[in-house]
């Protein structure tokens, strides 16, 4: 990809991030219409999309966003109130920009009528103004309408780009041109930082500019010109004079004063020239206006503030870089291969029994473990970003269905592997749609039941050991066990005399095609597609639990592993075959004496400290015919809140497991979730404890 292509890709990534921020901010603004910071944040985001879009050739996006920006500018100036129609239009504009970005990346066209309709509606919100004619082409900077205030002010601006400004694709001349369009500007380019030719780097910016600007714009509007480069430059904007300044204070300043204010001359150098004059403190003491100790106190304060200021300047904010997801995935794969190679090295060092080699191997093992943990942390993302995206879903669907629903979130800072988050999106959407459509009642029904008119859906996340538990709860009608039981009997899933607990009855909604809804809606059906939800969650090696009370609400909890690439496993063997159990599911290991097992023959249960634990013989499950030992072991795991044991020949110990997929030839195998390569080159199967328990 050439440099231009890279810059365009950077713009797309930045725009997508800003669109996510815009959607979240609009929904916050809807809840708090008086929040000026949200309005300013929206304006800055739209301004950045517009300015960067014009710079990288996305003229249609820049032209469309200009109209949205104009409307938001009037909102923050109090000329347009925050209202439901405004919120709807900003959300529609956000979707329109996203659609235009997708079309640009795919090389397709967008429906122009949609954009024109949004612009016309935005214009209609402006008080006493006719609709703005729609520009099909890029609007030249000189044609951008300026909303004049009544008075002019003069500002001194120093714009000092960082050397790496050009690497972000920014063109300073466009910024300077935009400043010219704000009023009367005097611009001086400063060249004293340009190095000798041999030291000059062609991609670095060495110029900085001094601008004297007389304009009717406010200081905030001038700052908006620099919004999308403010983190990549040193910028100072000072008010020199305005029409409120007394005439005597508008007298031209002395050269020394100007140079000092602009920090182009050091005070000590100026004082050296003016050495005949005494310091202000000395003059004040001599005139007996203040005492010496007060001057010393003032000097101490000045020195302290100067030191604090210098420390703040030196302190740099945590830097970050954008890395394409495929590069990150490649890094994780390479680390996985390194973990496998390190296991082989351990095996060989153990066989050779060489002390020097053993020391080196242990050091490499420590470094690889650190590299593994650090690499996996790079893929960890806060799930709050995903939670925020559901606010729009809840808002739109509740409006469509005539319901009043509030979405609340907890634990958004909880981190989860990006791959898990991506694959978790669809199951969460389906569960939330079910809650909106069939879980939460209409306002009238809720009032009759003594509830508030508005329903609540809560999304929460928390860490539980090596897992993350994500809960989706609502205060709706809840699940009716009698209705579910009757439907299960109708489908032949149970017989009438079966005595089942509530949580066992709830599991029927995950059966394919199972639904208790009287009619299927366009949105969802409680139970329709829940089998797909369970399948997706289990493909992530997760579990799903349901708690519900009729008339009070339902809570669905997904328990998921932190990562899918490299896990800590427990290696066991049966005969000559090796297997891996996810260590996060293992609670303990106990011995199983053949004589004790024979006493309870026919019943695969074991008494563990007074608790009855059922177990599965993996030898029988996988039809392994080798002779079993007299003393077997049971690995006790926790699955869906229940303890269940798996009988193996021997427990070998912990194993750093790099998960490899089995490929399409083994796609129908139910009890195995993958495989890993051991240090001696043999393959060990990774067992799916959820499927085995089921």
> Mind telling me the catalytic residues?
47, 69, 434
CB atoms within 10 A of CB 105: 11
Cα 313 to chain centroid, rounded:
29
Alpha-carbon span 542 to 460, nearest angstrom:
16
Kindly give the interhelix angle for 355-378 and 325-352, rounded to the nearest 10 degrees: 160
For 90, the token pair is 């900003």
For 165, the token pair is 């400004």
| φ/ψ of residue 636, rounded to 5 | -95, 125
Cβ-proximal residues to 693 (8 Å cutoff; 6+ apart), any chain: 616, 637, 639, 640, 642, 644
Please give the helix or strand (H or E) that residue 105 lies within, else none.
Answer: helix 84-106
Cβ-proximal residues to 255 (8 Å cutoff; 6+ apart), any chain: none
Cβ-proximal residues to 607 (8 Å cutoff; 6+ apart), any chain: 613
Alpha-carbon span 615 to 603, nearest angstrom:
9
Say which DSSP state 438 is in: I
Could you write out the DSSP letters of every residue in 152-219?
-EEEEEEEEE-GGGGGGT--HHHHHHHHHTTEEEEEEEE-TT---GGG--TTS---EEEEEEEESS-H
**CB distance 615 to 644 below 8 Å:** yes
**CB distance 324 to 371 below 8 Å:** no
How many contiguous H segments (helices) and E segments (strands) does the chain have? 22, 21
CB atoms within 10 A of CB 248: 6
Please give the helix or strand (H or E) that residue 121 lies within, else none.
Answer: helix 112-125
Give the length of the chain.
694
Alpha-carbon span 436 to 476, nearest angstrom:
9
Alpha-carbon span 87 to 358, nearest angstrom:
66
- Give bridge partners of residue 686 from the DSSP assignment: 580, 674
Alpha-carbon span 522 to 532, nearest angstrom:
17
Sign of CA dihedral 23, 62, 322, 231: negative
**CB distance 688 to 673 below 8 Å:** yes
For 313, the token pair is 């300047």
Contacts for 236-239: CB closer than 8 Å, 24+ residues apart: 236/156, 236/157, 236/158, 237/155, 237/156, 237/157, 238/155, 238/156, 238/157, 239/153, 239/154, 239/155
- Give bridge partners of residue 431 from the DSSP assignment: none
Alpha-carbon span 9 to 75, nearest angstrom:
32
Alpha-carbon span 369 to 367, nearest angstrom:
5
Alpha-carbon span 587 to 604, nearest angstrom:
19
Half-sphere exposure at residue 306, Cβ-oriented, CA atoms within 13 angstroms: 6
Say which DSSP state 139 is in: P
**SS3 of residue 403 by DSSP:** coil
């Amino acid at each position: 990809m050439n440099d231009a292509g890279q810059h365009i890709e950077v713009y797309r990534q930045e725009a997508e991030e800003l669109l996510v921020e815009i959607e979240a901010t609009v929904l916050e603004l809807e809840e708090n219409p008086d929040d000026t910071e949200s309005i300013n944040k929206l304006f800055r985001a739209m301004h950045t999309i517009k300015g960067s879009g014009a710079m990288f050739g996305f003229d249609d996006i820049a032209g469309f966003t200009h109209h949205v920006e104009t409307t938001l500018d009037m909102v923050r100036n109090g000329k347009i109130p925050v209202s439901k129609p405004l919120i709807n239009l900003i959300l529609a504009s956000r979707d329109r920009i996203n659609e235009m970005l997708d079309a640009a990346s795919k090389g397709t066209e967008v429906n122009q009528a949609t954009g024109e309709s949004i612009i016309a509606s935005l214009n209609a919100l402006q008080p006493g103004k006719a609709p703005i004619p729609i520009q099909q082409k890029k609007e030249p900077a000189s044609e951008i309408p300026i909303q004049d205030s009544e008075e002019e002010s003069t500002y001194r601006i120093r714009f000092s780009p960082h050397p790496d400004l050009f690497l972000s694709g920014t063109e300073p001349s466009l910024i300077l041109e935009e400043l010219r369009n704000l009023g009367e500007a005097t611009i001086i380019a400063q060249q004293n930082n340009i190095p000798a030719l041999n030291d000059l780097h062609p991609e670095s910016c060495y110029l900085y500019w001094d601008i004297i600007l007389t304009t009717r714009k406010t200081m905030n509007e001038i700052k908006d010109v620099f919004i999308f480069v403010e983190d990549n430059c040193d910028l100072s904007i000072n008010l020199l004079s305005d029409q409120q300044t007394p005439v005597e204070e508008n007298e031209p300043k002395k050269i020394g004063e100007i140079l000092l204010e602009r920090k182009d001359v050091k005070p000590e150098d100026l004082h050296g020239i003016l050495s005949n004059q005494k310091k202000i403190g000395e003059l004040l003491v001599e005139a007996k206006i203040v005492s010496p100790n007060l001057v010393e106190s003032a000097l101490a304060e000045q020195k302290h503030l100067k030191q604090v200021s210098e420390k703040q300047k030196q302190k740099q904010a945590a830097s970050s870089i954008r890395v394409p997801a495929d590069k990150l995935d490649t890094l994780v794969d390479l680390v996985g291969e390194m973990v496998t190679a390190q296991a082989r090295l351990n095996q060989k060092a153990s066989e050779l029994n060489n002390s020097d080699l053993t020391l080196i191997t242990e050091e490499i093992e420590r470094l690889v473990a650190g590299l593994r943990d650090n690499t996996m942390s790079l893929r960890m993302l806060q799930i709050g970003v995903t939670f925020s995206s559901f606010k729009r879903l809840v808002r739109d669907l509740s409006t469509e269905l005539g319901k009043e629903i509030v979405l609340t979130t907890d634990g958004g800072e909880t981190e989860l592997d990006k791959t898990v988050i991506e694959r978790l999106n669809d199951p969460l959407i389906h569960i939330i749609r079910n809650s909106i459509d069939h879980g939460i009642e209409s306002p009238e029904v809720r009032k009759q039941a003594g509830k508030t008119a508005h329903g609540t859906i809560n999304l929460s996340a928390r860490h539980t050991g090596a897992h993350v538990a994500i809960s989706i709860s609502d205060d709706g009608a809840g699940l009716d066990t009698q209705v579910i039981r009757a439907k299960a009997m109708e489908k032949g899933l149970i017989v009438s005399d079966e005595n089942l607990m509530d949580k066992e009855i709830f599991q029927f909604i995950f059966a394919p095609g199972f639904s208790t809804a009287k009619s299927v809606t366009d949105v969802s059906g409680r139970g329709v597609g829940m089998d797909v939800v369970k399948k997706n969650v289990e493909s992530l090696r997760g579990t799903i639990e349901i708690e519900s009370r009729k008339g009070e609400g339902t809570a669905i909890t997904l328990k998921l592993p932190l990562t899918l690439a490299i896990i800590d496993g427990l290696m066991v063997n049966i005969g000559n075959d090796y297997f891996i159990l996810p260590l996060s599911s293992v609670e303990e290991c106990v011995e199983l004496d053949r004589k004790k097992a024979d006493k309870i023959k026919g019943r695969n249960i074991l008494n563990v400290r007074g608790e009855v634990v059922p177990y599965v013989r993996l030898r029988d499950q996988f039809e392994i015919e080798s002779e079993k030992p007299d003393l077997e072991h049971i690995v006790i795991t926790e699955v869906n809140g229940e303890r269940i044991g798996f009988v193996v020949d021997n427990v070998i110990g912990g194993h750093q497991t790099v998960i490899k997929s089995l490929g399409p030839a083994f796609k129908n195998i139910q009890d195995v979730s993958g495989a890993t390569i051991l240090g001696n080159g043999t393959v060990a199967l990774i067992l799916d404890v959820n499927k085995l328990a089921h």
